[in-house]
Structure 1
Amino acid sequence: MTKHLIFFHGGGSEEDYDADAKLVASLKLKLGTGYSIHYPLLPNDGTPDMGRRKQISHEISATEDNVILVGHSLGASMLLVCLTEMKIKRKIAGIFLLGTPFWNKNEDWVEPFKLQPGFAKHLDQKIPLYLYHCRDDQEVPFSHFSIYQQHLPWASFRDMAVGGHQFNNDLTMVANDIKSMK
């Protein structure tokens, strides 16, 4: 039986989508047969959150139950926002967040990306939740990973010494964690 996965890219442009396509290719290769990966382009629609809430919730609603959700960078943070703010009607098998920013500045443009206070209580702790971050990430400070550790103590955290923001385009660790789920 094929397991379905949706990968949400980071950034807000087609260039970011193309860059994350290498992560998707790595994941496909490492997962092997038995997994179907949907990789939708999420264009910036000009709204303050770039349309991410609407786009991500639509993609999840359009899939089958027991979907595996993976997000990178902005895609990971907005996936987390959707899961904690919106009513999701699909059963989720696992959540995997890579290089996830924790938006906490007080600038106006940051507001649409922020998690609500107490966001963690809106997550089902029975759903496997994994966060990954490279210590040498030049885009999202490693300190953001530590903030998530404080808010999500039940989650599994994987940090790597090297790999940068793009994890050296190698998602072997993520694939191994996905395959380990029952």
Structure 2
Amino acid sequence: MRKHILLIQGAGNQHKPLGSGKLVASLRQQLGSDYQVLAPDMPDPDHPRYLAWRDQIEQELGRLDADALLIGHSLGGSMLLKYLAEGTYQKPIAGLFLVAVPYWGKQDWELEYAVPDDFASRLLPIQQLFLYHSRSDEEVPFSSLRRYQEKLPQATVRVLDGKEHSFTEGLPLLAQDIKRLEPRI
């Protein structure tokens, strides 16, 4: 039976050159036929709104079995993390992989994407948690990774050299980490 992975894209059309689509394609190739990477188009990705994305995430998660593998890329990781922190999703999660995810503050325009201060305590049903971030990411500051690292000390942190954000050439380390989880799933 194929293992399902749900990837929530970053902001913007994922099928454009710098969208999440190339990351999805490389994961599908690297993971092979044992995995099915699901990457639904999110609502109005050029003007993302949390409530619309939350509803889509909830719908997509409803199609998955327990012990799902979830990937959030960039803003999609913010949306996924906020949804999970709300505590409405009750199925166990085998792995959560957050790639180049911004840590939103409490400024007016950022409130929509910000996680609650106690979000880490609401993520208990996640068996394995991974954070990936390029040291010189030009879209999301490296300080975002450090903030998540402080709040999520149980996470495995992957600091990547370079300035990749979209990972248009793929992220082999992500595929390797997913495959390493197999005995635990």
- Please report the TM-score for the alignment, with normalisation by the length of structure 2: 0.89
Runs of 4+ in structure 1 off by over 6 angstroms are none
Amino acid in structure 2 at the alignment position of 1:162? G
What is the rounded CA distance, in whole Å, between the counterparts of 1:126 and 1:172 in structure 2? 22
CA RMSD in angstroms, aligned pairs only? 1.8
Deviation per CA, 1:51-75, whole angstroms, max 9, x where unpaired? 1222112211122222110110000
Deviation per CA, 1:98-143, whole angstroms, max 9, x where unpaired? 000000141x221110000111000116510001000121000001
Q: Would you say how many aligned residue pairs link Structure 1 and Structure 2? A: 179
Would you say the 8 A contact 1:68–1:92 is kept in 2? yes
Mapping of 1:157-176 within 5 angstroms? Answer: 157-176=157-176
Give the unaligned 5+ runs of structure 2.
none
1:68 is matched with 69
Would you say the 8 A contact 1:134–1:162 is kept in 2? yes
1:37 is matched with 37
Q: 1:86 to 1:58 in 2, by over 3 A?
A: farther
2:116 is matched with 116
Mapping of 1:145-164 within 5 angstroms? Answer: 145-164=145-164
Mapping of 1:1-182 within 5 angstroms? Answer: 1-11=1-11, 13-14=12-13, 16-18=14-16, 19-44=19-44, 48-49=49-50, 51-106=52-107, 108-124=108-124, 127-181=127-181, 182=183
What is the rounded CA distance, in whole Å, between the counterparts of 2:126 and 2:67 in structure 1? 13
What is the rounded CA distance, in whole Å, between the counterparts of 2:69 and 2:134 in structure 1? 22
Q: 1:125 to 1:89 in 2, by over 3 A?
A: closer
Percent of aligned positions with the same letter in both sequences? 38
Give the unaligned 5+ runs of structure 1.
none
Amino acid in structure 1 at the alignment position of 2:43? P
Local SS of the residue matching 1:51: helix
What is the rounded CA distance, in whole Å, between the counterparts of 1:57 and 1:86 in structure 2? 12
- Please report the TM-score for the alignment, with normalisation by the length of structure 1: 0.91
What is the rounded CA distance, in whole Å, between the counterparts of 1:177 and 1:131 in structure 2? 11
